[in-house]
Each structure stands twice: as structure tokens, then as C-alpha cells.
Amino acid sequence: MSTEPAIPSPFVVTALPGFTPAIGHLVCMMTYTRNTTLRAVEGLGMDDLDDRLDDDANSIGMLLEHIACLEEAYQLDTFGWEHTDEDAERWRRGVNLGPTAREHVRGHALSHYVERLAHVRARTLEAFARRDDAWLQVSCEWWDGQTANNHFKWFHVFEDELSHRGQIRLLRRRLPRRDG
């Protein structure tokens, strides 16, 4: 079952019931991005999700986990939610990728990643529904002493997913052919 809102057309950015206008527009773009990511991984098996081009490469599963972890990290940053040390370790591993993620993010079926992404997105949408467009404009110091507002931060969440979706498509084309 999808947690994504019903959007009249995937190619129309519009206001959505339950959200203020600008947040609705953001949700439309995030929903389109998520749907295209999910289409890019349809039908992949565990071996496909764990396959890496070389010892230093990320797998498709790692990139899906990264997408979920990055969204969770921005939930924490922009919604001010509490978290456990275990949550923080999972996010660090997923956001940073690298050797620790290569060791821990594997051995999961596609349904694991799809359910994880849906759970994280459902929490985001619930929080968005309780905020207004003025919240999007709230700014704070961010990377390298620069200022960012919540609107940019959430744009970055789906912009990062789009980038990794491109990597996923490339990795999918490079998967070894498997018999059976």
C-alpha cells in the first residue's frame, strides 16, 4: 500500500488537500521522484540489490538505504525529533555509505527497502501536514557557515534521491545476467 498522496497527474505540480500550497508543491515533486525511484528498482532480487561494480562501489540496496537515511536525517534536522543512539548510528552508516555500509547494508529483499522508504515518507508527510508555508522559510546556519531554509533542505532531500536514482539506473544496466 502506497503512503504517497493521490496526485491528479505526475506531471502537474499543484496544491494538495491536507497541505498548505507550497508544501503541497514540494510533496508533488517528492512523490514524482519517489515513484520514479521505485520504478527503477522493480523486479530486482537480493543478489541484484547487493551487487557492486567493485570493492569500493555502492550497491543499489546501499543507495536505497541512503535515500531513506537522508530523509530521516532531515526529519531530525527540520522537525526537531528525538532519536536514539542506535538511530544515529544507522543514519551515519546510511548517509555516509562507505566501508561500514558495505558491511551492514546487504542481504535484504527489495520489499525491505520499499517498506522502509514508505515508512520514512509516511512520517515526513504526517509532519508536513502539521506545518505551514511559513515553516518552509525558517532559516538557520547550515554547511560551511551558509544559511539554508527548510524549503531548500527538503528540496535537497529529493534532489539527492534523483541523483542516486541515476546511479541506480546505471548500476542496474551493469548487473550480471543471472540464470533462472
Q: Assess contact for 50 and 61: CB atoms under 8 A.
A: yes
Give the mean pLDDT of 129-137. Answer: 97
Identify the DSSP state of 6: P
Q: What is the mean pLDDT of the chain?
A: 91
Give the mean pLDDT of 122-138. Answer: 97
Q: How many CB atoms lie within 10 A of CB 1?
A: 3
Give the mean pLDDT of 116-140. Answer: 97
Look at residue 91 in the predicted model and tell me its pLDDT: 77
Look at residue 1 in the predicted model and tell me its pLDDT: 42
pTM for the whole thing? 0.91
Q: Assess contact for 26 and 154: CB atoms under 8 A.
A: yes
Cell numbers linked to 76: 531530525
Position with higher pLDDT, 180 vs 151: 151
Q: How confident is the model at residue 180 (pLDDT cuts 50, 70, 90)?
A: low
Closest CA to 70 of 89, 44, 96, 41: 96
> What is the rounded CA–CA span in Å between residue 100 and residue 64?
15
Is the domain 21-173 a CATH 1.20.120.450 member?
yes
Distance, first Cα to last Cα, the chain: 29
Kindly tell me if the per-residue pLDDT of 82 is higher than 60: yes
pLDDT tens-place string over residues 109-126: 999 999 999 999 999 999
Amino acid at 158: F
Q: Assess contact for 34 and 2: CB atoms under 8 A.
A: no
Look at residue 100 in the predicted model and tell me its pLDDT: 85
* Residue ranges covered by each domain of the chain: 21-173
Q: How confident is the model at residue 178 (pLDDT cuts 50, 70, 90)?
A: low
Pure H helices in the chain: 21-41, 46-50, 60-79, 85-96, 98-104, 110-129, 133-136, 150-173
pLDDT tens-place string over residues 32-74: 999 999 999 999 999 999 999 999 999 999 999 999 999 999 9
Cell numbers linked to 127: 509532519
Alpha carbon dihedral 5, 149, 163, 82, in 10-degree steps, equals -70
Position with higher pLDDT, 100 vs 121: 121
